[in-house]
Amino acid sequence: MNLEATKSGQRIDLFLKEGVFFNSEMTRGEIIRNIKNGNILVNEKKIKPSYILKIKDKIKINIPKKAKKLIANRNIFLKIIFKDKNIIVINKPAGLKVHPNAFEERNTLANGLVCKFPEIENVNDKSLGSELRPGIVHRLDKDTSGIMVVARNQKVFDELKNLFQARKVIKKYLTIVHGHLKNKNGVIEKALAKASNYKKQIIAGKKTRTKVRPAITEYNVIKEFNGFSLLEVKPKTGRTHQIRIHLASIGHPVIGDKIYSKKVYDKDIKLGRQLLHAKELEFELFGEKYRFESELPKEFRI
């Protein structure tokens, strides 16, 4: 892979982490090791991970792809609400990771899916690390519950990916947040960027060091009670942690959010999860319209 730097002043390891490998399993540490091993060159020369890029620097990446085998796990319970020859629709429980990483290899949704639907094993976007995400075109956070659609073949996978990227999939979430909102409905439009330590997303500032991505979230207050509010939320973009960050940015963090809530509340500790649930998904696939709604977890039945 060959790239050209479009801006100057950024370390090459940070540039590659936020850009080329942003959606892959490759960590910044792995990128640094590949730079040191000479698998990543700048202007045909070996450089240090701290090398500061200049405009039009030529970056050459030649990293041998090491295919990882996804371990099938029959013990992962899948609550399937619909399936046909093209898609599988599930209601993911809170507490279940979507796909493996360095810290969890066996107990994820993907492990259960490939066991029950082995035909999806090689259905992916062919990028580095995608073999661990068979059929998965979108994701939910570990502690977020709700609707997910999985592709059963490559043609459907590619089409669903295009629909999500073109914002042609309607997504609706329910969440319970701290406080009562002054505006009972509205739109939060705040761009997001990675924090400097890459551990979370932040509202983008003028001097952010990472790529800025536009993010738009619509919300509507459904009910207020005891210092909390039940909201229906419609993200118009699909950025990592978008709903959680946006709601926290207006002073109403999601109950149970351990990353973006500035305070620790007793109720949050007792719940053990964040109260965010993907309740509806609607799209049109090859001329056929689909709409799915998931059963609410008990925590939302108020």
pLDDT at 23 over 50: no
Q: What are phi and psi of 243, to 5 degrees?
A: -60, -45
Q: pLDDT-based confidence at 111, cuts 50/70/90?
A: very high
pLDDT of residue 267: 60
**105 burial level (CB within 10 Å; 0-12, 13-18, 19+):** middle
3-state secondary structure of 227: coil
Q: CA-to-CA distance for 202 and 289, rounded, in angstroms?
A: 35
Q: What is the pLDDT of residues 167-215, one digit of tens each?
A: 999 999 999 999 999 999 999 999 998 877 667 888 988 667 678 899 9
Sheet holding 40-42, edge to edge: 2-4, 58-61, 40-42, 45-46
Q: What are phi and psi of 177, to 5 degrees?
A: -120, 165
Which domains does the chain possess? Answer: 2-61 (3.10.290.10), 80-166 (3.30.2350.10), 173-277 (3.30.2350.10)
268 is catalytic: no
Query: If you average pLDDT over residues 228-251, what whole number do you get?
Result: 96
In the numeric block, which tokens belong to residue 129?
């690390």
Contacts of residue 263, defined as CB under 8 A and 6 or more positions apart, other chains included, come to none
Radius of gyration of the chain (CA): 20
Considering 13, 57, 141, 257, which one is annotated as catalytic?
141
Spatial contact of 38 and 84, defined as CB atoms under 8 Å apart: no
Question: What does the pLDDT read at residue 22?
Answer: 43
pLDDT of residue 254: 95
Among the ranges 119-128, 200-209, 239-248, which has the highest mean pLDDT value?
239-248
pLDDT band at 222 (very low <50, low <70, confident <90, very high): very high
DSSP assignment letter at 302 = -
